[in-house]
Amino acid sequence: MVTNNFPTIEDLINEKFSAFESFKKEFTLYYRNYIRDLPSEIHRTMRDWVIRALSLSTAKLKIRITVDTNIIVSDAIRVANGKQSSTIKLFSSPYVEIYAPKNITNEVIEKLKERVKDQLQLNKAISHARLLLSKVKIIDKVSDRALSQARSALEERDQKDVPFLAVSIYTGSNAILSRDSDFDSQRLVKRWTMGEGADIILTYEEGAFSMFVIAKTFDILLSTFAKLLLVLFNAIVQIAKYFAQLIEALYSKSLDIISKLPKWLIAGVLTFAISIWLIALVSKEFRDGVTTFFNELWETFEPNIRKLIITFYDLFKVIYNAIKDLTVCIASMVEQMAPYFIIAFGILMDCTYKLFHMYKLFNVQ
């Protein structure tokens, strides 16, 4: 997928939606082709996931279609001529249940023998036709009421179409898949062309896949955010534990050392410390001497202490700059990619909405 126009976050903020049209069209086309090329097993998995996620009835997430002879015949001839089947993908979709009357097999073979004269091509056509028919549920018998309604509706039309309309009435089909416009004369069951049927099935497949992607994306984002918070919290806890252990170790070590000293030495040290404090209170000369001593001590160790502080500061600065550069890089990437993600997310949401719309359309009767 190649994009020539690059919408920016400013276009989004300033509501310049025309900048998004090119990418939207390209992504929609790419996404449709991607979904169309997915194996039936993937779509079956997506369908099972949606059914479990929404606690739907398995039967309700399927479209019921009665297929006409001409659909199978035309696709069989297409394959016999060396072209790719345009029907097997639809027939293999987990979102469709296909029906036909018991006479369809004989009709298909008769039509193929009439139209295909080359024996090798005929064999290939019949083989493909049988493959398509293996995806079809053959209805051996329909109710008298369905048959009567079909005859009445097609009274002035080809009576060979009656069994197909009767099956569609009997099975509660959502449509008849046919190239025959004679079915347009009745109002009991809609007629769909192959293009219409394929678009509707693709809507189901796109919607289920989009719903799965959206749900899993939110799940991953929330999980990642929770893990980052957990890592940060654990880091803070570990640092706090380290300092607590350090203080505890110093305190324990000090107590341990002090406890091992002779009592006379401890008493002597305390006496000496108290004496120094008392002398410092009454003698300015002594205080000046102590001050001079500590100043000289500081001058001796100051260079090393400064080097240590500078080293820690430089290390902190390196870490800070690395984090800052990484943050700027991520922010820049987010700014560049955000419009694309928003468009893609909108298309996925639209596909999900269409799935629910189709579900409602074909199940609220």
Whether the CB-CB separation of 96 and 201 falls below 8 Å is answered with yes
Alpha carbons 199 and 181: distance in angstroms, whole number: 19
Q: Strands (DSSP E) along 96-167, which ranges?
A: 96-101, 137-139
Q: What is the DSSP string of 47-60?
A: HHHHHHHHT--TGG
Task: Look at residue 66 and give its three-state secondary structure.
Answer: strand
What's the DSSP call for residue 16?
-
Q: For the chain, 365 residues long, give each residue's pLDDT as a single digit of tens.
A: 444 455 666 666 666 666 677 777 888 888 888 888 888 888 888 888 888 777 766 566 788 999 999 999 999 999 999 999 989 988 998 889 999 999 999 999 999 999 998 999 999 999 999 999 999 999 999 999 999 999 988 877 777 889 999 999 999 999 999 998 888 888 899 999 999 998 888 888 888 888 888 787 777 767 766 776 676 666 666 656 665 665 666 556 665 665 666 666 566 666 656 666 666 566 666 666 667 766 766 677 677 667 767 776 676 677 667 666 766 666 666 666 666 677 777 778 888 878 877 777 776 54
pLDDT confidence of residue 351: 81
Cβ neighbour number for residue 129 with a 10 Å cutoff: 24
Residue with tokens 């959502």: 174
Handedness of CA 347, 353, 356, 358 (dihedral sign): negative
Q: Residue 34 has which token pair?
A: 């991607």
What is the pTM (predicted TM-score) of this model?
0.62
- Look at residue 247 in the predicted model and tell me its pLDDT: 60
3-class SS shares of the chain: helix, strand, coil, % to 5: 80, 5, 15
Per-residue confidence (pLDDT) for residue 1, from 0 to 100:
47
Question: Can you state the angle between helices 284-363 and 194-260, rounded to 10 degrees?
Answer: 160
What count of other Cβ atoms lies within 10 Å of the Cβ of residue 122? Answer: 18
Residue boundaries of the structural domains of the chain: 20-210
Q: What is the pLDDT of residue 59?
A: 60
What was the pLDDT predicted at 294? 66
- Give the C-alpha separation, 340 to 23, whole Å: 8
Q: Do residues 75 and 89 make contact, with C-beta atoms less than 8 angstroms apart?
A: no
Please tell me the predicted confidence (pLDDT) of residue 357: 75
What pLDDT shows up at residue 37?
84
* Domain 20-210: CATH class, spelled out: alpha beta
How high is the pLDDT of residue 163?
93
304 membership: H or E segment, kind and range: helix 284-363
Contact 161, 180 (CB under 8 A): yes
